[in-house]
Amino acid sequence: MQKRVYEKGELNKLFVVKKPMFISSNFYLNKFKRAYKNKKAGFSGTLDPFAKGCLIVAFGQYAKLFKYLEKTPKVYKAVIWLGVSSDSFDIERINSIGFEKELNIDFVKKEIEKLKGNIEYIPPKFSAKRVNGQKAYEIAREGLDFELESSIMQIFDIKFIRYNHPFISFEVKVSEGSYIRSLAQIFLRNIGSIGTLSYLERVCEGKFRFENHKELNPMDFIDLPKNNYTGTKEWLEFGRRISKDYLDIKDNGKYIIEVDSFFSIIEIIDNEVKYLLNKVPKIEVKND
């Protein structure tokens, strides 16, 4: 008789894992699906295969919460390898390894400092950006020509760590959707050098940090105000239409309504109250 790998019962769980280098985010997620014997899981913010670090994982209904979680700013540690040319702007697809002249360390520090602020950039072709419904890296691996639209990333802070030629290390705090590989290429163009990322680690996403797979309470991370509901609990439980007259805050916007065993996310639009997520179970998080 074949052993069942996955259980049928619902598991609601939120935690942070630390993805190792040189495996995909999906491959690493499957490890935890098997460990918890549950298929219904997802992650937020894909990490490139060559990158390591913080990956938020959610099981069950908690996987629906990703767009409401406070995941910014994101902090990365990175290393640029001068003299290396790569199609993917990292060490996975190196074309050539050359030699760049050693730079003045004060010059490097000043040029890194100049990267603060809003920067327009083109995402890497080897990325999960969508092009006509297809992931860009899939098209790039087929050798097809295509263009990606420019985007804006916000650099909240960036710090020089060290320069040990030909390697430049830095730490950067950025907005969601930023590509550190693209940021590195902008820096390299500014200093007139060729290079690629040889190391990338995501340290955190907002308040999310790796703490040995510690189970997290999603209510601590949802970036929405709470609204007090004074009506009948059963109306929420069965997803019946509720009136904003039974809410303390009646202004248009998105809110959390919390009751004994579950919470709901609603949106008020004029006189209508719309469920965005309903009856998401609360759990008692125990971490000894």
Beta bridge partners of 92: none
Query: Running DSSP on this structure, what letter comes out for residue 252?
Result: S
Whether residue 225 has a cis bond before it, omega within 30° of 0: no
Q: Would you say 71 and 208 are in contact if contact means Cβ atoms under 8 Å apart?
A: yes
Q: Which of 48, 145, 220, 288 is catalytic?
A: 48
Q: What is the dihedral of CA 275, 281, 287, 288, to 10 degrees?
A: 150
Write phi, then psi, for 191 (nearest 5 degrees).
Answer: -100, 0
Angle at 14 between CA 180 and CA 18, to 5 degrees: 40
Q: How many CA atoms does the CB half-sphere of 27 hold within 13 Å?
A: 10
**48 in active site:** yes
CA distances from 156 to 74, 96, 114, 151, 190 (A): 10, 33, 12, 16, 19
Q: Which two tokens stand for residue 196?
A: 């690629």
Residues 6 or more apart from 147 whose CB is under 8 A from it?
A: none
CA distance linking residue 247 with residue 274, whole number of Å: 13
Looking at the DSSP assignment, which residues form a beta bridge with residue 214?
none
| CA nearest to 123, candidates 144, 145, 152 | 152
Tokens of 88: 């993917």
- State the Cα torsion 168-174-176-181 to the nearest 10°: -20
Catalytic residue ranges:
48
